[in-house]
Amino acid sequence: MSRNRFFTALCALAALLLSISWAGCQQRASKRRIGVVPKAVAHVFWQSVHAGAVAAGREADVDIEWIGPARETDFSRQIEIVDSMVNGRMDGIVLAPTETTALVRSVERAAERGIPLSIFDSGINTESYVSFVSTNNYEAGVLAARKLAELLEHKGKIAIVKMVPGSSSTMQREQGFEDTLAEEFPGIEIADARYCMSSRAKALEVTENMLTAHPDLDAVFASAEPGTVGGAKAIRSRELADKLLFIGFDFSDTIEQDLKDGVTDALVVQDPFRIGFVAVKTVVDALNGLTPEKRIETPIHVLTADDLARPEIDKLLHPDLEKYLN
- Lowest pLDDT segment from 43-47, 80-84, 248-252: 43-47
- The end-to-end CA distance of the chain, in Å, is 53
Contact present, 160 and 190 (Cβ < 8 Å): yes
| pLDDT > 90: percent of the chain | 88
Alpha-carbon gap, residue 15 to 17, rounded angstroms: 5
Q: Does pLDDT of 21 surpass 80?
A: no
Q: What would the pLDDT profile of 123-173 be if each residue is shown by its tens digit?
A: 999 999 999 999 999 999 999 999 999 999 999 999 999 999 989 999 999
| Average pLDDT for 84-100 | 96
Alpha-carbon gap, residue 109 to 101, rounded angstroms: 14
| Average pLDDT for 2-21 | 47
Task: Give how far Cα 252 sits from Cα of 8, 204, 255, 258, 302, Å.
Answer: 66, 17, 5, 10, 15
- Lowest pLDDT segment from 25-29, 108-112, 178-182: 25-29
Within the chain, which residue ranges are assigned CATH 3.40.50.2300? 32-135+271-299, 137-269
pLDDT for residue 17: 46
Contact present, 172 and 224 (Cβ < 8 Å): no
Q: Return all residues near 106 (Cβ < 8 A) that are at least 6 apart.
A: 78, 79, 82, 83, 86
pLDDT for residue 268: 98
Q: What would the pLDDT profile of 205-215 be if each residue is shown by its tens digit?
A: 999 999 999 99
Q: Which of 319, 223, 229 is nearest to 275 (CA)?
A: 319
Contact present, 283 and 33 (Cβ < 8 Å): no
32-135+271-299, what's its fold? Rossmann fold (3.40.50)
Is 3.90.1170.50 the CATH number for 137-269?
no
Q: Which of 160, 188, 192 is nearest to 174 (CA)?
A: 160
pLDDT for residue 30: 75
pTM value?
Answer: 0.87
Q: What would the pLDDT profile of 241-280 be if each residue is shown by its tens digit?
A: 999 999 999 999 999 999 999 999 999 999 999 999 999 9
pLDDT for residue 326: 81
β partners of residue 134:
297
Alpha-carbon gap, residue 203 to 243, rounded angstroms: 20
Contact present, 192 and 213 (Cβ < 8 Å): yes
pLDDT for residue 4: 52
